[in-house]
Structure 1
Amino acid sequence: MSGAVPLFRRCFGTDPQVGWRAPGRVNLIGEHTDYNDGYVLPIALSLGVTVALARNGSDRLRLVSAQHGQDVATVALDALEPGALSDWTAYPAGVVWQLRRSGLDVGRHGGGLDIAVDGDLPGGAGLSSSAALECAAAMALDELLHLGLTRPQVAAHARAAEHDFVGMPCGVMDQYASLLCTQGHALFLDTRTMTTEQVPLDFAAAGLHLQLIDTRAPHRLVEGHYAERRRSCAEAAAALGVPALRDIDRAALGGALARLSDATARRRTRHVVTENIRVLETVRLLRDGRPDRIGPLLTASHASLRDDYEVSCPELDLAVDAALGAGALGARMTGGGFGGSVIALSVAEDADAIAAAVCEAFAEHGFAAPIRLDAHPAAGAARITVPPRR
């Protein structure tokens, strides 16, 4: 039974009415392309966030988290507005705010809510713990209130909550991955058309292993850097006369770069265009049953993120270099950058030695010991059973 259910009972003295669990995600490839109308290829993780909730008959939200001291926070429904909350409570509260803003019957007429949260997804690792929390809360509300939302609609609401209420100008990849991924597959998402394809992904059958290395590097001014890069991409697209950088293909890249007078804009553009190319090539190889061939694409993605998009950091670069030096077929940072995690693809029998090499390199440089996790493609959000108390 999820820890969110006993936490709910302990803090609110009754049973939750519904519970949902949503996973975090690892992006196999396709970084900083989702807000440029590009392509992404995430997988869901087995780690995630669980939300248990119920109506409380008041005009307030009461929220508690096992990961944040287990103190109950209370906020009036009518006080929900962007910027009103600055901690973890902003994410589930933002979902409530967004659903209300959309005209759905949420939190009206004594429709306050009690919400308990628990999870095993490490925060700050670049694995989209915020999106997992939003998606679990949104799915639970959809069930409890009979809203009749599709999963893409839930993803759109969850993303709007983070974008407009929390104030993080994110794309929609994280929410789509948390909701729409299926076990044993990567989710190929075209963020312009919002069409998806489940691409089979079985590294074990190919004698391969994908490991996730949480560098534990603290994120450094992520929000400001993220917003700056998004703005830079929009300005580059406008200067090139295209709706988004996704509209620049391989053949047009050289000419596009020559037309941009700003060196930073050229670097950002080159990353987005080449990253889209790498996503399409990775999907082609996976469709052809050749996951052993995608390693160089992962490594090239990291180099582009490091040099052209400038979102890496010393810990991420060291983890990638150490993994490659120990025999990884490919490695790259994953997530928004400036801290977080790295993925490393290898022959299965080399995985332990690669993890050891990364730990040794971190110790030599005086960095905190990284945490190794396996990255098996898991299923998206699912309902949890809330058994009655005995």
Structure 2
Amino acid sequence: MTARPAAPDTVTGRSPAAPAPPGSGGPAGEDRPKGRRRGPRRGGLPHRPALVLLGVLLLASLTAGLTIGSVRVPPGEVWGIVAHRLGAGWVEADWSRARETIVLDVRAPRVLLGAVTGAGLAVVGAAMQALVRNPLADPYLLGVSSGASLGAVLVIVSGTTFLGALSLSASAFAGALAALLLVYATARAGGRITPVRLVLSGVAVAAVLTAATHLVLLTTDRGNQAREVLSWTLGGLGGVRWDTLWLPSSALLAAVALLLVRARSLNLLLAGEEAATTMGLDVARFRSRMFVLLSLVTGVLVAAAGPIGFVGLMLPHVVRLVVGGDHRRVLPTAALAGAVFLVWADIAARTVAAPQEIPVGVLTALCGGPFFLWLMRRDARRATGRRPG
């Protein structure tokens, strides 16, 4: 009599006998100890309390972002200004017109863009790490930021304003899209697209586009634009307006919704390609569609705020330590955590060296660099501990 196969796990969607995933806790390709079953880990903190806590922290962070600056506005006055603009007739307007302009037209778009960008990068990073089964993956893995940087630099040094205030963002997104198409064409040239081939193509294309960016800067006669180029390539949230905020916000909402719908498929990838295929997932098609989605969202975010590094690398790992590895929990939690982190990073960028402003990408790199080294050291220790003897 033939034994019936074991029922699939309700969280991961895979059989208990499926091979352990090599990428959820260490570099791709490493084997787990025999007899140890590994799926999306359940964290110690319940999911709903974590979301509530992060929601409260985000609200406090947004308030701080509107309050702190060269002109300090009390929190009560901040929310009075916001409520009055939203049509609350019972709020008495006892503040100056200058303070209202500072809160609503200068700080509010900037703070919201920081929240949207941080949330988007954290979500994209979490999904990218699952797709390539490598904890060191981030949203810029496929060279999108290099393409966006080249597009932005071309507009800055040429002084082109074909779309007015949107010229820089539009050119950056066009560069990101061109980089994505080039990466896919390169990866497909050798036959079937695999994660390794796609990542290697991204690294090669990023190197070429970065070299092209440097060549443009070296050959241009507009030397006075060097500071603007440097500021953009380091990432920043200054100069955003309300009419440029809708696109990254829409991209974030669409990405989170689509990724939550496919969260179970992301969980299946942690079990390995063979196990995921056995459970009915078309791995090649799913990966291709997800890579396109994540790269487009990253291109939109980079076009709006510049290439802000390490957010998509750090926050997914922090979130998994709190709520576990199930992407139905990781994705919304990472969105809130990323928003909180980048809002406070921008507050620090505005105030640490005031009145001079530090590019927010510099501060995220100062946080992310040590974290990256710690992550590599942790994975090296785990790999050493798994060796026989």
| Fold agreement, TM-score > 0.5 | no
TM class, shorter-length: under 0.3
TM normalised by structure 2 equals: 0.23
Calculate the TM-score normalised by the size of structure 1.
Answer: 0.23
Query: Higher helix fraction: Structure 1 or Structure 2?
Result: 2
> Which one has the bigger strand percentage?
1
Q: Which has the higher contact order (CA 8 A, sep 6+)?
A: 2
